[in-house]
Structure 1
Amino acid sequence: MTTTYTINFQNKRGTDSNYAVFMEPPVLSSSGTSPDAFMNVWYSTFVPNNGYFDIKTGVDYYAWVGTATAKPAPGVMVNTGMSLPARLGQGTTAGDTFNMMIKRNFPTIAQSTPSAAASAYEINTRTDFPVPNERYLIGLGKVNNRGLVAPVASTNPFNNMKIQLTPKMKFYILESVFEAGVIIDYESVTREAAVIDFTSGKGAGKFYAVVTQDDTGKFTVQYFDNY
């Protein structure tokens, strides 16, 4: 049976608004100094007053590579890319491993011999990045509301790195006008957003959450066993 998590968001703000959805960046571990992980807008949507929308997602993860339109930083758009399904390591079974290669200035990945640790997948880089690398990114992709794989977290790695990524089923919703793909400052999002965490606290073991923003702007989150 496929595991599905559902988040129902309700706008009781008293006015129409725009919202962005984010996912917690994966934990990064590497063969060298781990680069910073950036949070990307997963998708954004307009919600009228008293309107609602549902987010449905599973434990499907994608190894993603792409490019940034400028030096990666909050406000920079991440666009062109490629992704492949990534199976996480489980017990003694290694997680999927991917080799990244630049072809005619386009980032690509290909599956390699699995070697990732439990709950992780791995992306390996070669020696084809410019130094410093301010263009090419790797990260985590998830299927968005349009049925397309979109980056939810990214990082600009160095040459000759083996980076393991461990995802977490934790999400954020925030009033925002940013478009999908834009890099957002993690601290500002986590400080102001509704937090939906299916891995710990009240959300552990749950599969359905109802998020409401009231007329003061405050978010409340309730968890249930199922939809």
Structure 2
Amino acid sequence: MTTTYTINFQNKRGADSNYAVFTEPPVLSSSGSSPDVFMNVWYSTFVPNHGYFDIKTGADYYAWVGTATAKPAPGVMVNTGMSLPARLSQGTTAGDTFNMVIKQNFSIIAQSAPSAAASAYEIDTGPDFPVPNDRYLIGLGKVNNRGVVAPVASMKFYILESIFEAGVIVDYQSVTREAALIDFTSGQGAGKFYAVVTQDDTGRFTVHYFDNYY
């Protein structure tokens, strides 16, 4: 049975608002130059005053590639993508490896012989991958609340009042400075599977963790 993590968000700020959920960017390694790392909106929704939403995700991972509408930067939309289930390497078993090609400006991946390093999976690019690269993105994905695989790196999430739609690239520093942090990997959230996030009438966020939903 797949492990499920749930975030319950409650709007008690005294007014209707829009919210976005973000995730911690991945840690990357590359055989070439150091890649740029971006944070994107994973899920977004309107929440009325005294309303709430639940967002659920599992511990399964997906290799993800996508194409941005312009050079990746805050405000740019990632509007196309492809994903395949990915197994991370464990012990002497290599992690999944995928070959990426560009077909009619669309990023495509296909599984190849496993060769990824410890606790990782690998995406290999070919001669059709442009250098410098201003459009094509590589990442780690999870299934979001709408059943769509979207780029996400870990079980560490942020929630913030935001008008940005899912898929938009955002500035990491501004988001993490003001957002509620939900971290299922360390601190009070380690070993927990359910978090309740509340925004009160001062705009302040509080986060409480539970073993499961009751």
Report how far residue 128 of structure 1 moved.
0.8
Equivalent residue, structure 2, for 1:2? 2
Equivalent residue, structure 1, for 2:149? 149
Counterpart Cα distance in 2 of 1:52 and 1:223 = 16
Report how far residue 145 of structure 1 moved.
2.0
Q: Deviations over 1:68-99 (max 9, x none)?
A: 11111010000111111111122222211111
The 5 Å alignment of 1:1-227 reads: 1-152=1-152, 167-227=153-213
Alignment length (residue pairs)? 213
AA matched with 2:165: E
Moved more, 193-202 or 30-39: 30-39
Counterpart Cα distance in 2 of 1:211 and 1:115 = 40
Report how far residue 116 of structure 1 moved.
1.8
AA matched with 1:72: P
Moved more, 44-53 or 111-120: 111-120
Counterpart Cα distance in 2 of 1:202 and 1:146 = 28
Report how far residue 32 of structure 1 moved.
2.6
Q: Deviations over 1:93-134 (max 9, x none)?
A: 221111101122221001011122333211111111233211
Identical columns (%): 88
TM-score of the superposed pair, with normalisation by structure 2: 0.95
Counterpart Cα distance in 1 of 2:117 and 2:134 = 28
Unaligned runs of 5+ in 1: 153-166
- Is the 2:58–2:142 Cα contact (8 Å) retained in structure 1? no
Counterpart Cα distance in 1 of 2:31 and 2:131 = 18
TM-score of the superposed pair, with normalisation by structure 1: 0.90
Counterpart Cα distance in 1 of 2:52 and 2:151 = 24
Moved more, 100-109 or 216-225: 100-109
1:168–1:146 distance in 2 versus 1, CA, 3 Å: closer
SS at match of 1:188: helix
Unaligned runs of 5+ in 2: none
AA matched with 2:181: V
Q: Deviations over 1:123-179 (max 9, x none)?
A: 111111233211111112221222111233xxxxxxxxxxxxxx4210110000000
